[in-house]
Structure 1
Amino acid sequence: MGCKTLIKWPKQITAGLVEQLIKAEKDIQKAILIFDAATAEYTNGFRHDNGTFGIIISRLLSANRFKSAEDMLARMKDENCMMTEDIFLSMYRAYGRVHKPLDVVRIFQKMKDYDFEPTQKSYITVFSILVNENRLKTAFKFYRYMREKGIPPSTASLNILIKALCKNDKTMDAAFNIFREMPKHGCNPDSYTYGTIINGLCKLGRILEAKELFGEMEAKGCLPTVIVYTALIHGLCLSNDLDGATRLLEDMKIKLVEPNVFTYTCLMDGLCKSGRSLQAMELLEMMISERKVPNIITYSTLIHGLCREGKLREALEIFDKIKLQGLQPDAGLYWKIISLFCEINKFQEAANYLDEMVLSGVLPNRVTWSLHVKIHNTVVQGLCVGNDPNRAFQLYLSIRTRGISVEAETFKLLVGHFCKKGDLHKSARIIEEMVIDGCIPGTGTWTAVLDAFWDRRKAKEATELAFSELMTKLMECKTPSLVEH
């Protein structure tokens, strides 16, 4: 009932009108209702055609509603609606976008169920997705199937085959051979072909061959693209030819090929790894002056390089740029800054950045869990060493609240500090939690506690009581996970 009242249709509804309404509707659920409302007009002579089916399938795929899209495809067959290859192509690309290459193959194989014969475009699209998803065995099998079906070689298909072969150092020479054989099949290498081969050679450290191919490319009038330049710049950086990489960047500008963010980031990475992070910073300023917006990888590259050289002030300057641009530093970037503060014994500042990290919502996950443990324990230990046990204790409590593991050395330092201060309440609490966590106190920790108790009145009774309580906890802890040495 809702579908019929959704739209007040004119006396004669057209497929063009339905398409227009579905395209204009941003809400996918409402777009489906429009499609269904038009379906309700079948009794008045309207029929969906491949245009209306195509647009609703496209909208469903964009919303990752793949089953609904496939149901619409089946409905097209049931209603004897003429299909177009573009609908299948949109399905291949949608499944490829969400990294489901096997579903791409499945849809390709279903084309025969719809009495539809794929053209070269479908074969190349499926082949390309398989290669991009690193399903190389399936990709090579599919390529042989293409040839068996009489799909002739083309520059596009051979480019994909070369790309697949360049992914493995053992098949790089085979890729090069196909590249040389292309003209015999009536397929001339283009900029993409050269770029793929050059990139493959650079990754293998075959820089001289890559440079020769780059020169050959220009000699044949095949203009290098920004992708080709970036691949070679990256290769030169890997071989530590930073001056050559810098000259290539200048050559790009002379030839009016605009460097992109990746081009600059590759060169900056090479400079930073060679201890030339200040030169990389100059490159960042040049990049910004050209209105190229740095991404988080660009900034991370610089911060890692600056921290490696101990340039804290410059690293903090870049760190501030990240936040001003509205980007979110990750745990790795915070760790670089925090560890550098710890190295120069500025533990308060390190703790401040740790607090900022927590407040900004950088939380541990399965991948970063060990890094978060390392960051938090390093700062607590540093605060203890820096004689700020109170803040160390507050951070310790925060760690426990958030379920982050406390290391044996952290327990040891905290207990030692509070024993020296005569704060036996906190010392006892930490030891109790230490035992609960399965970390057995070592001789040094026991000695610190007993010495602290011995300085108090009724030392014997207090010691016996503390020892009794701790032994009870130890007995309860059947599988200790940590041992403090």
Structure 2
Amino acid sequence: MPQISNPSTLPIFCSLTYQRFLFCSLQSKCISSSSSPVPSQQHIAHLILDQKSVSQALQTFKWASKLPNFTHSQSTYRALIHKLCTFRRFDIVKELLQEMPNAIGSPPDEDIFITIVRGLGRARMVKRVIKVVDLVTQFGKKPSLRIFNSVLDVLVKEDIDLAREFYRKKMMGSGVEGDEYTFGILMKGLCLTNRIGMGKLGEQGA
């Protein structure tokens, strides 16, 4: 788990967070009155997303990991990674990805990689967006069509030529066939650059 700055603030913060969780639990009636309140993974994910800073998001995540009978999941990691991407803390994101297989028994899922792609896209880190495809393979997985399309959607907004090259070399080179959404993304990029005459992408290999 990445180091949390100013850990002395954790007890007070955790107390407030737990009160918020109890209120939400009572309102939604997710937890029966006869059992001790244990937050769901969805509750924790929402709490993480509600935080206003990197340190608070990390504190919430660490606090939850110490609750009895609670274990983190893809959804809670995804919430934390989304928050870190918002603040461009991609260094901590990398640490979280590496710890996931041991922490929860499975590597990052497709939605987490798409979250990273979109976060890098918002930060306009185009070269790093492309490298997410290679990052997926480091976990013994083959990038899905959804991941390729997410990368492509970022690239067309920045550089249509780079997007077309990515489609040819990365997507087609990996044996991944595009769908209607893929070609819609590429057409959007051509329209943005007034190059709609090159629109028969599927027939011309983009």
Shift of 1:181: 6.0
Shift of 1:6: 3.6
1:42-441 maps to which residues of 2 (within 5 A)?
44-79=68-103, 80-81=105-106, 83-134=108-159, 136=161, 138-144=162-168, 145-165=170-190, 173=197, 175-176=198-199, 178=200
Asked if the contact 2:107/2:139 (under 8 Å) is kept, the reply is: no
Shift of 1:57: 0.9
Partner of 2:33: none
1:35 correspondence with 2:35: no
Asked if the contact 1:4/1:40 (under 8 Å) is kept, the reply is: no
Asked if the contact 1:49/1:82 (under 8 Å) is kept, the reply is: no
Letter in 1 for 2:90: F
1:25 correspondence with 2:45: no
After superposition, give the CA deviation of every residue in 1:210-235 in whole Å (9 maximum; x if it has no partner): xxxxxxxxxxxxxxxxxxxxxxxxxx
Alpha-carbon spacing, 1:23–1:179, altered in 2? closer, same or farther (3 Å): closer
Asked if the contact 2:54/2:84 (under 8 Å) is kept, the reply is: yes
Partner of 1:7: 14
Alpha-carbon spacing, 1:52–1:166, altered in 2? closer, same or farther (3 Å): closer
In the aligned structure 1, how far is the partner of 2:51 from the partner of 2:186?
41
Letter in 2 for 1:107: V
Could you tell me which runs of 5 or more consecutive residues in structure 2 were left unpaired when the two chains were aligned.
1-6, 19-35
In the aligned structure 2, how far is the partner of 1:28 from the partner of 1:125?
25
In the aligned structure 2, how far is the partner of 1:99 from the partner of 1:180?
27
**How big is the alpha-carbon RMSD for the aligned residues of Structure 1 and Structure 2?**
3.0
Shift of 1:157: 1.7
After superposition, give the CA deviation of every residue in 1:95-150 in whole Å (9 maximum; x if it has no partner): 111211111011221001122332211111212222211161x3223212322333
In the aligned structure 2, how far is the partner of 1:25 from the partner of 1:179?
43
In the aligned structure 1, how far is the partner of 2:51 from the partner of 2:57?
6
Asked if the contact 1:76/1:82 (under 8 Å) is kept, the reply is: yes
Alpha-carbon spacing, 1:121–1:16, altered in 2? closer, same or farther (3 Å): closer
Shift of 1:88: 0.9
CA radius of gyration, larger in: 1
Shift of 1:55: 0.8
Alpha-carbon spacing, 1:121–1:69, altered in 2? closer, same or farther (3 Å): same
Q: What's the TM-score, normalizing by structure 2?
A: 0.70
Q: Secondary structure at the match of 2:66?
A: helix
After superposition, give the CA deviation of every residue in 1:331-367 in whole Å (9 maximum; x if it has no partner): xxxxxxxxxxxxxxxxxxxxxxxxxxxxxxxxxxxxx
Alpha-carbon spacing, 1:106–1:153, altered in 2? closer, same or farther (3 Å): closer
Could you tell me which runs of 5 or more consecutive residues in structure 1 were left unpaired when the two chains were aligned.
183-485
Letter in 2 for 1:121: R
After superposition, give the CA deviation of every residue in 1:58-110 in whole Å (9 maximum; x if it has no partner): 11111222212222222213322453211111111111112111110112210
Q: Which has the higher contact order (CA 8 A, sep 6+)?
A: 2
Asked if the contact 1:120/1:151 (under 8 Å) is kept, the reply is: yes
Q: Secondary structure at the match of 1:99?
A: coil
Asked if the contact 2:46/2:79 (under 8 Å) is kept, the reply is: no
Asked if the contact 2:145/2:178 (under 8 Å) is kept, the reply is: no
Asked if the contact 1:49/1:81 (under 8 Å) is kept, the reply is: no
After superposition, give the CA deviation of every residue in 1:128-180 in whole Å (9 maximum; x if it has no partner): 222211161x32232123223333343322233334455777x654x14x179
